[in-house]
A and B are shown apart, each in its own frame.
Chain A
């Protein structure tokens, strides 16, 4: 109920429109991986999913940002059930990959940003290797490329107040790790899938 209301508000503010280009909204386990330009990315992608998918999909987000205030922590943990991961002091104990695998084993879908940090909105930076490790371990999960357009203008890096422009979330054709595909090949193929969506 609160989650639906929140998703509605997010869609209104970001004017986000989903475009299902390469796949349909289906109830199967997926990892949505997207370009990253704004703190709102995860929430916007999550909000544009149809309700039946949204309740089974958890955004992966930065712990330091989403635990900064009580409000943010409430939203992250209760409303969109984010998987919060450590960015700075990664150790064996809090290895982000384990948290993601745990969520996947519970049957949930995930939203991840393999660039690691927010970019300038023009170029998509090389992907971190986490996506490859997930693809290797979870071979029956679909990896769906997602391009989020305009969020870098709505709430760019370093700004607090959003400007109400319209954004667009495009979902591409899902991909899986091919036989004997190397790490760098897979990561580059995944990155180019988002670049293609951007141009379509």
Chain B
């Protein structure tokens, strides 16, 4: 799983840094020029978001530069933090304590060890089969029956979303694409860039001309204009960087369209859960961004689909 840095990687990273520099510069100019109280708050929010993006890009850059192991550690840590936010909002009881201990300290690390040793067979069934069977046994053995099915279902769901789905991001590095050996880091970059840019662009398009709400009861900020504008422009971006991938332009565009729609769906599902639990953000870890889970909800839903598309059609 050795990755090497080539000219294309340099172009991708350079592009992102240029984009962020531009965003920081605009944010700085805006902070100097706005007068009204409301606009100042918006600009402050924007600037703290940009700062958080810098931090994330630097962390991501270090993870990529250290080869496969850095990425595995980064996404393993992300899973851990996301699961922590998820379970915090989930009403588990005393009887789940030992089960949760297994979920956090055995299942989660093991899933990433399987990525590291490239044991695909077990990687793909560890959580959907073995955790699914073992964790309820552990809870039942603790002897608490109240809301049993609900509690175990929620723990399983948290593991699936936060650990199983997220672990498909570094697992991309294990795919063997003929003629593209050692370059999979760029595919990981492609996935994260397209899905995250789609989030940002949906927000921008929605702010500019959002009118018709997609699901007003779930998320009042998500509009058809934002959805279509965001996914299409992010997919164009995905198509435009096809030269860094094993795809043609149209393949890159189509795959981008699919993963940005999955990303949108992920955001929608996680909003529904948050709304049900009566909170706005999952945590307060990254300034201006809500929690880790708020950042990766779209990646959770996009990563397995992206992974399987490549696995079925390009390896």
CB distance A17 to B88 under 8 Å? Answer: no
CB distance B88 to A163 under 8 Å? Answer: no
A166 sits at the interface (CB 8 A):
yes
Given A152, A156, A166, which contacts B85 in the complex, CB threshold below 8 Å? A166
Assuming the contacts A156-B94, A156-B97, A159-B97, asked whether A165 and B284 have C-beta atoms less than 8 A apart, the reply is: no
B residues neighboring A (CB under 8 Å): 80, 84-85, 87-88, 92, 94, 97-98, 100-101, 104, 283-284
CB distance A165 to B101 under 8 Å? Answer: no
Distance in Å: Cβ of B100 to nearest Cβ of chain A: 5
Selected A-B contacts with CB under 8 Å, 16 pairs: A15-B88, A15-B283, A152-B94, A153-B92, A153-B97, A156-B94, A159-B98, A163-B87, A163-B97, A163-B100, A163-B101, A163-B104, A164-B80, A164-B104, A165-B100, A166-B88
Q: Mark A158-186, 1 if CB is under 8 A from B, else 0.
A: 01010111100000000000000000000
Distance in Å: Cβ of A139 to nearest Cβ of chain B: 37
CB distance A150 to B284 under 8 Å? Answer: no
Q: Within 8 Å CB of B80, what residues of A?
A: 164
**How many interface residues does A have (CB within 8 Å)?**
13
Q: Which residue of B lies closest to A150 (CB)?
A: B88
Q: Report the Cα distance A15→B87, complex, angstroms.
A: 13
Q: Report the Cα distance A137→B97, complex, angstroms.
A: 42
Q: Report the Cα distance A150→B93, complex, angstroms.
A: 11
A residues neighboring B (CB under 8 Å): 15, 17, 120, 150, 152-153, 156, 159, 161, 163-166
Distance in Å: Cβ of A30 to nearest Cβ of chain B: 25
5 smallest CB-CB distances across A and B, nearest first, come from A166-B88, A163-B100, A165-B88, A156-B94, A164-B84
Q: Report the Cα distance A165→B88, complex, angstroms.
A: 5
CB distance A165 to B87 under 8 Å? Answer: yes
Q: Report the Cα distance A161→B92, complex, angstroms.
A: 16
CB distance A166 to B101 under 8 Å? Answer: no
Distance in Å: Cβ of B18 to nearest Cβ of chain A: 34
Q: Which residue of A lies closest to B99 (CB)?
A: A163
CB distance A161 to B87 under 8 Å? Answer: no
Given B94, B98, B284, which contacts A17 in the complex, CB threshold below 8 Å? B284
Q: Report the Cα distance A156→B96, complex, angstroms.
A: 11
Distance in Å: Cβ of A198 to nearest Cβ of chain B: 14
